[in-house]
C-alpha cells in the first residue's frame, strides 16, 4: 500500500460524500458543474482544516523576523571566534543561539507542521489524476469515476487534457482555466507574499530568486495547463483563489515584522 493511500482514501470519501449531497439536492450526478462544485467544496474543506497550520507558519515567520536582528548582532560578537574555527567558541555560539531561539519561540522543528501538509496536496493531485484516468480510489468507486469521466465543462470533458483537443471550445476552456490559475498565483506572489517578505539582509541571489517567483509560478501553471486534466485546472483555480484571499488577509492584518507590508501597516496607523 502506498504511503499516500490513507490521504487519498480520506479525500476520496470527502469527494464522494459531497457528490452524494449535491445530487440529493437535485443536481445532475454526471454534470461537470456538479463535479466542479465537489472539487471546490473539497478545496474549502481541506484548506479550512489546515488553517491552524497556516497560523503556526505566520507565528513562526514573525518569531524569526523578531529574532533576526539579535541573531545578526550575536554573529558579529562571535565573528572572530568563529573565524578561528575554535570548537569551544563554536559550541558557545550554538548554545547562545539555542537560547535566543528559545526566548523567541523558534523551534528547530518549526517547519515540520508546514511540511506535514505536503502529503495532502500530493494525494489530492493523485486522486483527481486517477479519477480522470478512470482509476477508482476508495469511496470514488467505478460508478463515481465513470460519472466523473463523463462530466463536461462547457462541453469539454473534465478528464481531457492538453491545449489541443476537440476544436476551439476545448482550447478556450483550457486556456481560460490555466490563465485564471496563473493570474491568481502571480497576484498572490507579487502583491501579497513578496511585500510580506523581508529581504533586507538576504543575499542578492536569494532576493533575485524571490522577486522572480511570481513570474515563474505563473509560467509554470501555463505550461502545466497543456499536460494535466481539465479537472486539475479547475482544482488549481479554486485552490489558488483561496491562497490569494488567505495571503491578502495575512498581508493586511498580520504582516511579517520588517517587511514592506509591516512598514505600510505602521504608516497607516495614526
In a domain, 221, yes or no: yes
In a domain, 20, yes or no: no
Is the confidence at residue 109, as pLDDT, over 70?
A: no
Q: Which of 19-23, 167-171, 221-225, 229-233 has the lowest mean pLDDT?
A: 167-171
Determine contact, residues 32/227, Cβ cutoff 8 Å. Answer: no
In a domain, 215, yes or no: yes
Report the C-alpha gap between 232 and 224 in whole angstroms. 10
**pLDDT tens per residue, range 41-99:** 999 999 999 898 889 888 988 888 888 888 888 878 877 766 677 777 778 777 888 88
Higher pLDDT, 102 or 7: 7
What separation in angstroms does the CA of 167 have from each of 162, 163, 177, 232, 241? 12, 10, 16, 20, 28
The pLDDT of residue 35? 97
**pLDDT tens per residue, range 138-154:** 999 999 999 999 999 99
The pLDDT of residue 40? 96
Higher pLDDT, 108 or 234: 234
In a domain, 28, yes or no: no
In a domain, 242, yes or no: yes
What separation in angstroms does the CA of 150 have from each of 15, 134, 159? 16, 10, 8
In a domain, 189, yes or no: yes
In a domain, 123, yes or no: no
φ, ψ (nearest 5 deg) of residue 152: -130, 155
- Average pLDDT over every residue of 248-256: 95
Report the C-alpha gap between 52 and 113 in whole angstroms. 9
- Average pLDDT over every residue of 111-117: 67
Report the C-alpha gap between 12 and 135 in whole angstroms. 12
Q: Which position has the grid cell 469521466?
A: 149
Residues above pLDDT 90, as percent of the chain: 54
In a domain, 183, yes or no: yes
Segments forming the whole domain that contains residue 184: 160-270
Which stretches does DSSP call E strand in the chain?
A: 152-153, 156-157
Determine contact, residues 238/43, Cβ cutoff 8 Å. Answer: yes
The domain total for the chain is: 1
Report the C-alpha gap between 183 and 241 in whole angstroms. 10
Amino acid at each position: 500500500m502506498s504511503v499516500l493511500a490513507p490521504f487519498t482514501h480520506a479525500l476520496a470519501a470527502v469527494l464522494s460524500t459531497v457528490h452524494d449531497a449535491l445530487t440529493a439536492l437535485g443536481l445532475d450526478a454526471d454534470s461537470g458543474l456538479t463535479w466542479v462544485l465537489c472539487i471546490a467544496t473539497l478545496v474549502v474543506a481541506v484548506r479550512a482544516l489546515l488553517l491552524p497550520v497556516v497560523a503556526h507558519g505566520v507565528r513562526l515567520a514573525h518569531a524569526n523576523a523578531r529574532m533576526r536582528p539579535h541573531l545578526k548582532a550575536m554573529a558579529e560578537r562571535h565573528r572572530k571566534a568563529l573565524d578561528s574555527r575554535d570548537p569551544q567558541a563554536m559550541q558557545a555560539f550554538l548554545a547562545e543561539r539555542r537560547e535566543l531561539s528559545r526566548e523567541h519561540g523558534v523551534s528547530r522543528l518549526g517547519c515540520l507542521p508546514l511540511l506535514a501538509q505536503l502529503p495532502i496536496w500530493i494525494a489530492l493531485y493523485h486522486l483527481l489524476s486517477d479519477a480522470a484516468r478512470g482509476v477508482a480510489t476508495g469511496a470514488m468507486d467505478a460508478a463515481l469515476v465513470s460519472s466523473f469521466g463523463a462530466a463536461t465543462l462547457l462541453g469539454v470533458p473534465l478528464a481531457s487534457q492538453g491545449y489541443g483537443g476537440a476544436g476551439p471550445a476545448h482550447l478556450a476552456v483550457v486556456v481560460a482555466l490555466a490563465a485564471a490559475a496563473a493570474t491568481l498565483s502571480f497576484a498572490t506572489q507579487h502583491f501579497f507574499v513578496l511585500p510580506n517578505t523581508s529581504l533586507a539582509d538576504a543575499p542578492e541571489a536569494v532576493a533575485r530568486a524571490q522577486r522572480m517567483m511570481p513570474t515563474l509560478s505563473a509560467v509554470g501553471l501555463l505550461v502545466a495547463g497543456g499536460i494535466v486534466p481539465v479537472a486539475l485546472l479547475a482544482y488549481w483555480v479554486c485552490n489558488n483563489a483561496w491562497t490569494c484571499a488567505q495571503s491578502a488577509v495575512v498581508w493586511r492584518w498580520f504582516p511579517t515584522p520588517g517587511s514592506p507590508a509591516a512598514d505600510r501597516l505602521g504608516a497607516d496607523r495614526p
